[in-house]
Amino acid sequence: MSAAAARPAGLAAGSTREQILGVARHLIETRSYLGFSFQDVADAVGIRKASLYHHFPTKEALGIAVIRQATQSFKDWDAARVRTPKDALESYFRMYRNTLKAGSGMCPAGALTPGWDCINEELRQAVQELRNTQVLWLTGVLGALAPARQKKGASVASQAAYVFSVCQGALLASRMTGRVEDFDEAIAQLRSSLPG
């Protein structure tokens, strides 16, 4: 792969550390965590492989930083808007479809799961934190969509976990086929099963 092919759009801006994180996230989303090396990142950023160790002592440290950045980006995305619960849920679906590039990419957390037994505990915890952050957010949104069900907190939390899982699965299926329409069809079915 050429450096240009591995380089996500808009890479030129930012510090070297930010560029490394951007390239690593792009590679995780398109190749998986196990599908790239430090050399791939160095080539895409245009630095020596040894220079990566100045910023990240291990690939696991780089993976943790990517996932933590994704978690913070999700929190910032939520805090940046005032939305009705229905609009918030639709925005969540659009974020999966457009930002995570349904049909050509995966969520960085989801892209780490195929190598779950090969990654260290700290990286697993970072992935679980991203998942839990989204499920907690979804629990609040779904609870607001159907306040009468809020008394049954476990069922709202279970439904939130279900929404997260369907979004992850829809990304995976659309990545397999390369068709964003497959993501859209799964989300349409999901919508029809939700309250509000």
Phi and psi, residue 120, nearest 5°: -80, 170
Claim to verify: residue 39 and residue 136 sit in the same structural domain: no
Claim to verify: residue 79 and residue 38 sit in the same structural domain: no
Total domains, the chain: 2
Claim to verify: residue 125 and residue 32 sit in the same structural domain: no
Claim to verify: residue 95 and residue 19 sit in the same structural domain: no
Q: Name the pLDDT band for 3 (thresholds 50, 70, 90).
A: very low
Residue-wise pLDDT for 98-146, tens only, equals 988 999 999 999 999 988 999 999 999 999 999 999 999 999 999 998 8
> Distance of CA 141 to CAs 71, 123, 131, 145, 160, Å?
18, 28, 15, 6, 9
From 8-17, 81-90, 138-147, 175-184, the region with the lowest mean pLDDT: 8-17
Highest mean pLDDT among 72-81, 146-155, 173-182: 173-182
Is residue 150 in some structural domain? yes
Claim to verify: residue 49 and residue 92 sit in the same structural domain: no
What separation, in Å, do the N-terminal and C-terminal C-alpha atoms of the chain show?
Answer: 46
Non-local CB neighbours of 177 within 8 Å, separated by 6+ positions: 103
User: Long-range contacts: 18-23, Cβ < 8 Å, 24+?
Assistant: 19/45, 20/45, 20/52, 20/55, 20/56, 20/62, 21/62, 21/65, 21/66, 21/69
Domain range for 178: 67-193
Q: Name the pLDDT band for 1 (thresholds 50, 70, 90).
A: very low
> Distance of CA 75 to CAs 59, 72, 78, 131, 165, Å?
24, 5, 5, 12, 19
Is residue 62 in some structural domain? no
pLDDT reading at 15 higher than 80 = yes
Taking the CA atoms of 23, 99, 143 and 152 in sequence, report the sign of the dihedral they define.
negative
- How far is it, in rounded angstroms, from Cα 36 to Cα 1? 11
| Tokens found for residue 45 | 């950023």
